[in-house]
Amino acid sequence: MTPHPATPLRTIPPVDADLRIRLATLCHEGWEMWDRFDVQVRGEAFHPFVAADYDLILAALMPLQASGTRFLEWGSATGVITILADLLGFDACGIELDPDLVRASRELASRWDSQARFAAGSFLPTGYRFRSPRGDDRLGTIGEGVSGYLELGRSLDDFDVVYGFPWGGEEAMMLDLMARYGRADALLLLNEVNGGLRMYRDGRLVS
Ligand SMILES: C[S@@+](CC[C@H](N)C(=O)[O-])C[C@H]1O[C@@H](n2cnc3c(N)ncnc32)[C@H](O)[C@@H]1O
């Protein structure tokens, strides 16, 4: 089982007290889901789902929260981060390739009375091909499937904030995807394998 940080309430910036408790409880439930997944699924065979540090993502999303701001999670897995975004007031969507995870995320959203929406499919738009300047066009752990944007009724450039958790070496592809299909003024948040979080706008690092 992978060790993970606890989610003490004090790590969450001050928002409404009830909301703080809901956010911390959801993070806790997310960690429990991840622990089960790690044993039951990843214990049997490789799966690309590894949970991010929910506290870190939450802290990054808090200052960006604004009602109606459109948030998209690439590879939303159990849906925890997309649902956190919805609870914060974002208009939140996730796209996930693994249908079992999509089912789990929809059930989680329903239990949390969340409006977060999840599409089953790929976060790669139809026809997208990664063209690396270095000539290495491999997609790493990123799988292929029917694009999920049609199901959401939105395209990538409809979103104001996009979040992804690339495995090592996949960051270039996510930056390329955002540069070619995202809006120039949108924020791209990338969780790093070593635990940090980088924020980009128009391909440039902003934090
Ligand atoms: C490293 S995990 C990140 C999970 C979650 N976003 C987080 O930060 O905790 C990557 C997720 O992306 C999913 N995935 C891989 N390729 C995908 C694709 N082309 N479209 C949608 N999801 C994909 C995997 O199944 C996995 O759940």
Got the DSSP string for 89-153? T-EEEEEES-HHHHHHHHHHHHHTT---EEEESBSSPTT-----TTS----TT----SBSHHHHT
pLDDT number for residue 2: 47
| pLDDT by position in tens, the chain (length 207) | 444 554 444 444 557 889 999 999 999 999 999 999 999 999 999 999 999 999 999 999 998 877 789 999 999 999 999 999 999 999 999 999 999 999 999 999 999 999 999 999 999 999 999 987 777 777 889 999 999 999 999 999 999 999 999 998 899 999 999 999 999 999 999 998 887 999 999 999 997
Cα–Cα distance, 32 to 146 (Å, whole number): 30
Tokens of 59: 């802290």
For residue 35, the cross-strand partners are none
Residue 75 C-alpha to ligand 1 middle, in angstroms? 3
Nearest CA to ligand 1 atom 13: 75
pLDDT number for residue 193: 80
| Cβ atoms 181, 155 nearer than 8 A | yes
Domain boundaries, the chain: 14-205
At position 151, the amino acid (one-letter code) is: E
pLDDT number for residue 194: 80
Residue 16 C-alpha to ligand 1 middle, in angstroms? 31
Residue 100 C-alpha to ligand 1 middle, in angstroms? 12
| Cβ atoms 116, 86 nearer than 8 A | yes
This prediction's pTM: 0.93
The set of residues, in sequence order, having a beta carbon less than 8 Å from that of 27 and lying 6+ positions away, is 7, 54, 55, 58, 80, 84
**Which strands make up the sheet holding 187-191, listed edge to edge?**
117-120, 91-96, 70-74, 161-164, 187-191, 197-201, 204-205
Q: Identify the residues whose C-beta falls under 6 Å from ligand 1.
A: 48-52, 73, 75-77, 81, 95-98, 101, 122-124, 142-143, 165, 191
Name the one residue in this structure whose structure tokens are 């329903």. Answer: 110
Tokens of 187: 């924020």
Closest approach atom of ligand 1 to CA 163: 6
pLDDT number for residue 195: 75
Cα–Cα distance, 159 to 125 (Å, whole number): 14
Distance of CA 29 to the CA centre of its chain: 16
Which residue, 63, 75, 49, 46, is CA-closest to 12?
A: 63
Residue 164 C-alpha to ligand 1 middle, in angstroms? 8
Correct CATH for 14-205 of 3.40.50.720, 3.40.50.970, 3.40.50.300, 3.40.50.150? 3.40.50.150
Cα–Cα distance, 108 to 25 (Å, whole number): 12
